[in-house]
Amino acid sequence: MSTVVAQSLHVFGLRAHVANNIFFFDEQIIIFPSGNYCVKYNMDQKWQKFIPGSDKSQGMLALSISPNRRYLAISEIVQEKPVITIYELSSIPCRKRKVLNNFDFPVQRFISMAFSPDSKYLLAQTSPPESNLVYWLWEKQKVMAIVRTDSQNNAVYQVSFNPQDNTQVCVTGNGMFKLLRFAEGTLKQINFQRGEPQNFLAHTWVSEDKIIVGTDTGRLFLFESGDQRWETSIMVKEPTSETKNLENIQESESLIEFPTISSPVPSHEQVILASGHSQLVLPQVFAIAAYSKGFACSAGPGRVLLFEKMEEKDFYRESREIRGEPAHFEYLMYPLHSASITGLSTCIRKPLIATCSLDRSVRIWNYESNTLELFKEYQEEAYTISLHPSGHFVVVGFADKLRLMNLLIDDIRSFKEYSVRGCRECSFSNGGHLFAAVNGNVIHIFSTTSLENISNLKGHTGKVRSIVWNADDSKLISCGTDSAVYEWNLSSGKRQTECVLKSCSYNCVTVSPDAKIIFAVGSDQTLKEIADSSVLREISAFDVIYTAVVISHSGRMIFVGTSVGTIRAMKYPLPLQKEFNEYQAHAGPITKMSLTFDDQFLLTVAEDGCLFTWKVFDKDGRGIKREREVGFAEEVLVTKTDMEEKAQMMLELKTRVEELKMENEYQLRLKDMNYSEKIKELTDKFLQEMESLKTKNQVLRTEKEKQDVSHREHIEDLLDKQSRELQDLECCNNQKLLLEYEKYQELQLKSQRMQEEYEKQLRDNDETKSQALEELTEFYEAKLQEKTTLLEEAQEDVRQQLREFEETKKQIENDEDQEIQDIKTKYKKKLRDEKESNLRLKGETGIMRKKFSSLQKEIEERTNDIESLKGEQVKLQGVIKSLEKDILGLKREIQERDETIQDKEKRIYDLKKKNQELEKFKFVLDYKIKELKKQIEPRENEIKVMKEQIQEMEAELEHFHKQNTQLELNITELWQKLRATDQEMHRERQKERDLEALVKRFKTDLHNCVAYIQEPRLLKEKVRALFEKYVQRADMVEIAGLNTDLQQEYARQREHLERNLATLKKKVVKESELHRTDYVRIMQENVSLIKEINELRRELKFTRSQVYDLEAALKLTKKIRPQDVPETVPSEDVCSAAPTMRLNEQEETGRIIEMQRLEIQRLRDQIQEQEQVPGFHPLAGIRLPSLVRSEVDFEVQTN
């Protein structure tokens, strides 16, 4: 045997299509199928233990665990035969208890199983066309009963026992709901199915005779003893997606499981077809579980509904909906692959495994911590994956492109894409500076640093299936379906060696560490050792096909994977005989295998969607180690934007934390203050209550002592009275006894006389009775003789009638025999005719069967062709849809960009127009600003005056506020006085209570002294004690006399304070009314003043415009006058007087200007006077006298 040993360490995977594929073993451990194993997984400690399946198993079909959690039943197909293996879970390790494999009935496979409540019996349902339900006493391998559940080849999904009755069984399936009972060695149906047949997917028992059943149309039924009692339906509007098996729901009071039954889970291709459409989905109820208050059921992907039983009814109502969001559901372990794993790779610097699958996902696992590091889903299927030796990059071949991606701390992000469609194989070089990718029959070599295609290796005529680099990355070895193994020299880009065998289609290739020997496996069921273009050795695979091969970095171990899911560990050099260790791990063909860089772990993946990690040992149990110079790296890639976002988020969170701390501290302070106040109030309250209770207690004690004295007196009286009554009763009773004795003697005499009389009567009665008896016997004997004679006559008549009946019977029998013979002859003829026709029909049916079988074969061939064409059509439709989506997206982008360009051009044009208008407006505003600046100066003077008035008003307001505050202070003083008087009153009342208590105590003590009035010595001592107790202070003597005076003084003070309080309240009310009226008056005056200011501003504006007009007119007159004057004086007549006239004209103009200035000054003074007079409103229609009129008047006066 081989010295190489592999031990399974951990598995990442779940067989989803196994019926009832996950359940709890106890509160921490779950059991689920993975590959060819059943795995026991501890959720708290994260360890796994394996229950191996049968050797040469072709896959598990169904699981079942006994109610006492002691036995596990596994249904398998072993060498094309059904087998049920029962394991004992209580033993460590789990051992096989029974194997059921010899059956006296036809069976292809067992699709559903269930243990009875006492775990003694096993129920198993076979697949169509037999569809038998088998009831086993499994310990003795004895079939107790067998019945055919369906005759129409419908699918059966679940079988179960009544949880409280071994003999009652439920079976559900497509159009089937049956309740069966085991009795007298048979299973008999006890219900009658009414209504339309439904596709019943799952059921559960909620009580001894009630069952909840779910259908594929989202309907729920409640059956009681086989009759329908309740029905409801579940509808949900959401896009269809992959239906996953429901996990378990665990409550604190009990353990609940969803029995993941063998209902039809959709295939991966069906999920892809359905994922693109959003429609009104009918949620399929795949699982139902009962719990204490009701039941839970699945309602589509990631959705669970809880139903609770309504009070006083046998119906259920929906109480809660749980959706598969992170707030509600968490992964039990981690998300796993749900389809065939196509790619596997490891790196050197980190303990990472990269896998890709046909479920369109890429996952990064950690084989040291057995966790999922990264996980991302894509739109296309991933065919191959390779991890960079550093563990920071990954290259993945998708259906549409080859993507080079970064492995960030929380994401897998693509940074370079290559148009390599349908890349089925890729690999980084050992140094990481190059990577190779396969496109059909061409191998592309890319540089990791420049990201460019540096060479293309062409030579294969078929698809390349596997590539591998040698240790120094100088060579690349490839193999393919064209039966060729090529060794490429990367420096020249040409083939260095080649080995072509036409009989073999290669699946995988690997190379020894020294790059001298190539190992290849293929379809010819051999492992080939190739060197220098020739096959050195061929080692047989012993009737299996090798699908993967890998050699250790030390060159001493070889591992191969087979098409049946087994792994073989061999020692190198390869043995000639069958010397290897074989392990049945997977339930499907192994797709990829890999060894870690230190040769410690073997990694295998297969078409069953499971990833196994194996620990590699030698025969003695020692690990095969390679020295590591450096430990695993802990660095991760993070983008700068992510870091900045994280830093920003941290700052925001820090500020938020500080704010919350401040808020919490403030809230704590407030609560402390509130609680301290409450504590003070409570302590005061409790002290008062204690004092009141003390006083009550004293009063009650005094009352109790009084009552004790009165009770004693009353008891003494009662005793005296009782003794007197007893004496009276004794006397009376003695007299009565004497009387009764006399009566008794009289009655005794009477009874003796009566007895004698009765004895005489009895003797007389006996004599009369004997005489009557004799007479009656004689009478009845005579009657008996008569009756016997009559009976003999009747018997003779009966005999005669019997003879007549026998004669008639013989005649009738003779007639019937003749008729029977006639009928026999008639039917014999008919039978011969029917036999002849039956023979003819048998010949015809034989011919028709042959025709039918040939037609069926043709139909099957056609359906296979149709399915293949449909698969191609689906793929092409997917490609077309993706391309159409890309085209639509690009068209939308172009349209959006055109629209944005047009909008921006319009915006620019509008902004230019606005800019021009604003420039014009700016020019106008500048001019207006200059004019307004000139007008501001007089306004400022007016504003100053107004401000002075406002200041005076504010001073008045302050005065009123001071008065208010003074009044408020007076009120507070009065309130304080009132409180002081109240406190004084409470103190006086307390004193009064104390004195009353003292008086009561004295009275009680005095009453106790009076009891000793007959004993002078004791009375003297008690009186002295009373004196010492109560007459210790001199002031206590006059308390009784002072009580009345204190009460009178208290009443007088109270009346005085109440009168003062009433007067103060009236004063406060009056002053508040006065203050309010003053405030209203001031407000009204302010409003009127503001109105006058606004009107004066308008008038001022108007007068300034008039002044401006006058100044403008004045400037015009200055320009016009020197030209007009020479026209009035003719030059011919007055030539000599011209200089003197010019002088006079200049003087006149100067005088006019001076007059106008004086007029303007007068008008300004008048305006100021009008502004100063309050309430005066000048008329807006008054205008100043015009300059032209004044000039004319001046000319007239001078002339």
pLDDT tens figures, 673-708: 999 999 999 999 999 999 999 999 999 999 999 999
Q: Are strands 464-469 and 453-458 parallel, antiparallel or unpaired?
A: unpaired
Listed range (98-102, 269-273, 622-626, 766-770) with the worst mean pLDDT: 269-273
**Residue 844 buriedness (CB in 10 A; 0-12 / 13-18 / 19+):** exposed
Cα(384)–Cα(386) distance, rounded to whole angstroms?
Answer: 7
Helix, strand, coil percent content, the chain, rounded in steps of 5? 45, 30, 25
- For 382, the enclosing helix (H) or strand (E) is strand 382-387
Using DSSP, state whether 700 is helix, strand or coil.
Answer: helix
Confidence band of 467 (pLDDT split at 50, 70, 90) = very high
Residue 425 has pLDDT above 90, yes or no: yes
Cα(76)–Cα(959) distance, rounded to whole angstroms?
Answer: 104
Report the pLDDT value the prediction gives residue 1180, as an integer from 0 to 100. Answer: 40
The answer to whether 133 and 140 have CB atoms below 8 angstroms apart is no
Written in H, E and C, the secondary structure of 1047-1068 is HHHHHHHHHHHHHHHHHHHHHH
Euclidean distance between the first and final Cα of the chain, in Å? 156
Report the pLDDT value the prediction gives residue 233, as an integer from 0 to 100. Answer: 84
Using DSSP, state whether 264 is helix, strand or coil.
Answer: coil
Beta-bridge partners for 560: 549, 568
Per-residue pLDDT tens for 805-814? 888 888 888 7
Cα(425)–Cα(467) distance, rounded to whole angstroms?
Answer: 7
Report the pLDDT value the prediction gives residue 948, as an integer from 0 to 100. Answer: 86
The answer to whether 672 and 971 have CB atoms below 8 angstroms apart is no
Residue 398 has pLDDT above 90, yes or no: yes
Report the pLDDT value the prediction gives residue 478, as an integer from 0 to 100. Answer: 94
Owner of token pair 């290796």: 457
Residue 261 has pLDDT above 60, yes or no: no
Per-residue pLDDT tens for 984-1038? 899 898 989 988 998 888 888 888 888 888 888 888 888 888 888 887 544 454 5
Confidence band of 204 (pLDDT split at 50, 70, 90) = very high
Cα(1055)–Cα(44) distance, rounded to whole angstroms?
Answer: 81
Average pLDDT for residues 885-896, to the nearest whole number?
89
Any residues with CB less than 8 A from the CB of 39 and at least 6 apart, and which?
11, 31, 32, 33, 48, 49, 50, 51
The answer to whether 105 and 98 have CB atoms below 8 angstroms apart is no
Report the pLDDT value the prediction gives residue 324, as an integer from 0 to 100. Answer: 43
Cα(391)–Cα(367) distance, rounded to whole angstroms?
Answer: 13
Residue 593 has pLDDT above 90, yes or no: yes
Residue 1127 has pLDDT above 70, yes or no: no
Written in H, E and C, the secondary structure of 414-464 is EEEEECCCCCCCEEECCCCCEEEEEECCEEEEEECCCCCEEEEEECCCCCE
What are the backbone dihedrals phi and psi of residue 256, each rounded to the nearest 5 degrees, phi first?
-115, 135
Report the pLDDT value the prediction gives residue 512, as an integer from 0 to 100. Answer: 92
Residue 140 has pLDDT above 50, yes or no: yes
Using DSSP, state whether 165 is helix, strand or coil.
Answer: strand
Cα(1142)–Cα(1092) distance, rounded to whole angstroms?
Answer: 51
The answer to whether 559 and 547 have CB atoms below 8 angstroms apart is no
Using DSSP, state whether 368 is helix, strand or coil.
Answer: coil
Amino acid at 990: Q
- For 428, the enclosing helix (H) or strand (E) is strand 426-428
Sheet holding 210-215, edge to edge: 200-205, 210-215, 219-224, 227-233
In the numeric block, which tokens belong to residue 622?
A: 């020692």
Report the pLDDT value the prediction gives residue 1160, as an integer from 0 to 100. Answer: 82
Cα(593)–Cα(574) distance, rounded to whole angstroms?
Answer: 19
Report the pLDDT value the prediction gives residue 668, as an integer from 0 to 100. Answer: 92
Report the pLDDT value the prediction gives residue 276, as an integer from 0 to 100. Answer: 39
Report the pLDDT value the prediction gives residue 189, as an integer from 0 to 100. Answer: 86
Cα(1084)–Cα(1077) distance, rounded to whole angstroms?
Answer: 11
What are the backbone dihedrals phi and psi of residue 1072, each rounded to the nearest 5 degrees, phi first?
-65, -40
In the numeric block, which tokens belong to residue 104?
A: 């006296």
Average pLDDT for residues 214-219, to the nearest whole number?
88
Cα(993)–Cα(472) distance, rounded to whole angstroms?
Answer: 110
Residue 396 has pLDDT above 90, yes or no: yes
Report the pLDDT value the prediction gives residue 256, as an integer from 0 to 100. Answer: 38
Rounded to the nearest 10°, the torsion over CA 915, 917, 918, 919 is 90
Cβ-count burial 721-740 (b if 16+ within 10 Å, e if not):
eeeeeeeeeeeeeeeeeeee
More confident residue, 418 or 313: 418
What angle, 0 to 180 degrees and rounded to 10, lies between the N-to-C axes of helices 1039-1128 and 640-1010? 150
Using DSSP, state whether 589 is helix, strand or coil.
Answer: coil
- Percent pLDDT > 70 in the chain is 87
Nearest to 372 by CA among 13, 707, 86: 13
Distance of CA 1086 to CAs 953, 1072, 1082, 1083, 1090, Å? 9, 21, 6, 5, 6
Cα(912)–Cα(905) distance, rounded to whole angstroms?
Answer: 11
More confident residue, 1122 or 193: 193
In the numeric block, which tokens belong to residue 227?
A: 């009759």
Residue 1135: DSSP 8-state: S
Confidence band of 319 (pLDDT split at 50, 70, 90) = low
Give the global pTM: 0.54
Mean pLDDT of the chain: 82
Listed range (19-33, 90-104, 283-297, 299-313) with the worst mean pLDDT: 299-313
Report the pLDDT value the prediction gives residue 313, as an integer from 0 to 100. Answer: 63
